[in-house]
Amino acid sequence: VSKLRNSNHLLTELNSAEAALWLQKAAQTIPFEMEVKHAIRVASRDNEIILHFVPITFEPDDLEELRKLESANGLPTCSISKARWAKSKQNRSTTQKVASL
């Protein structure tokens, strides 16, 4: 826990996803906030990654496709929030089979 400069806000970094989920659930209860004497807001972070050699048949706007991608790679369900092609479909060559996501 550290105090943010020029404010009365505290920043807490947790060591696991399980701890973050626990705090997120606990933060939804008013008695918990009263106990710690601070309003609680849980902020999640998204990390951007680039995947190379993704078949162009993949549909990044299809949520079912994202769930399949998570499952195939052993990722937790809904851990991929969104995906998009690095370059637009219009910039592909007619023989292109894979692209970066």
- Rounded mean pLDDT for each run of 10 residues along the chain, 101 residues in total: 68 78 71 62 76 94 93 90 92 95 92
DSSP 35-80: HHTS--------------SEETT--TT-HHHHHHHHHHTTPPTT--
Per the confidence metrics, is the pTM higher than 0.75? no
Task: Please tell me the predicted confidence (pLDDT) of residue 30.
Answer: 62
Task: Please tell me the predicted confidence (pLDDT) of residue 54.
Answer: 93
Domain boundaries, the chain: 2-36, 54-99
Task: Please tell me the predicted confidence (pLDDT) of residue 28.
Answer: 64
